[in-house]
């Protein structure tokens, strides 16, 4: 990693990777970046990566990346999953994937990166899909994941 500027993480079950993915990330060129990861179930396309989101409030719940499209091509996030993740090498050198309770390591990584002043963003219009046949079950999470509140 010493001679590299970026680290690209892609889970082994990800498919439909755009041929210009790296260029799209480099055009944004932020510290930590991710894209929308979806899954098809019963003929419907739905969000797969519930770990990639912005924290909401008690009224609205958290906002998963696909539901932030109304904000633009690049949106601010609080935590990320590792379905697809592009990280500046300098960030990886300074921020580690911590062991945290009740959160995934990638979520803790994003939280720690933000505390150190790094920017975390998502590209909600860049979509990839998981080969898994259903969205993951996250029994320890009791948060609501909803579309943004209106009004």
Domain of 49 in residue numbering reads as 6-130
The string over 2-24, giving b where at least 16 C-beta atoms fall within 10 Å of a residue's C-beta and e elsewhere, is eeeebeeeebeebeeeeeebeeb
Q: pLDDT-based confidence at 39, cuts 50/70/90?
A: confident
Lowest-pLDDT choice from 2-16, 72-86, 97-111: 97-111
Q: pLDDT-based confidence at 58, cuts 50/70/90?
A: confident
CATH at residue 84:
3.90.550.10
pLDDT at 69 over 80: yes
Query: What total of structural domains would you count in the chain?
Result: 1
In a domain, 105, yes or no: yes
The string over 90-126, giving b where at least 16 C-beta atoms fall within 10 Å of a residue's C-beta and e elsewhere, is ebbeebeeeeeeebbebbbbbbbbbeeebbbbbbbeb
In a domain, 137, yes or no: no
In a domain, 147, yes or no: no
On whether the CB atoms of residues 123 and 35 are closer than 8 A, the answer is yes
Task: Tell me phi and psi for residue 107, to 5 degrees.
Answer: -65, -45
In a domain, 139, yes or no: no
pLDDT at 2 over 80: no
Asked whether the whole model's pTM tops 0.85, one would answer no
Average pLDDT over residues 4-21: 89
In a domain, 140, yes or no: no
DSSP E strands: which ranges in the chain? 6-10, 14-15, 32-41, 44-47, 53-57, 61-64, 75-76, 84-88, 120-130
Residue 150's pLDDT is 39
Q: Which of 30, 9, 29, 48 is nearest to 127 (CA)?
A: 48
Pairwise CA distance, residues 99 & 130, whole Å: 25
Average pLDDT over residues 88-112: 78
DSSP state of 68: G
- Pairing of β 84-88 and β 32-41: antiparallel
In a domain, 120, yes or no: yes
pLDDT at 151 over 60: no
């Amino acid at each position: 990693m010493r001679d590299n500027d970026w680290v690209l993480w892609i889970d082994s079950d990800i498919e439909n990777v755009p041929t210009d993915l790296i260029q799209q990330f480099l055009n944004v060129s932020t510290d930590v970046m991710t894209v929308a990861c979806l899954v098809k179930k019963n003929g419907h396309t739905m969000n797969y990566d519930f770990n990639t989101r912005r924290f909401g409030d008690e009224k609205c719940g958290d906002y998963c990346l696909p539901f932030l499209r109304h904000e633009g091509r690049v949106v601010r996030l609080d935590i990320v999953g590792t379905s697809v993740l592009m990280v500046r090498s300098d960030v990886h050198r300074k921020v580690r994937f911590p062991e945290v309770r009740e959160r995934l390591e990638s979520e803790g990584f994003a939280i720690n990166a933000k505390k150190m002043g790094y920017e975390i963003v998502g590209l909600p219009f860049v979509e990839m899909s998981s080969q898994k046949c259903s969205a993951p079950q996250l029994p320890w999470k009791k948060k609501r994941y909803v579309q943004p509140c209106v009004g």
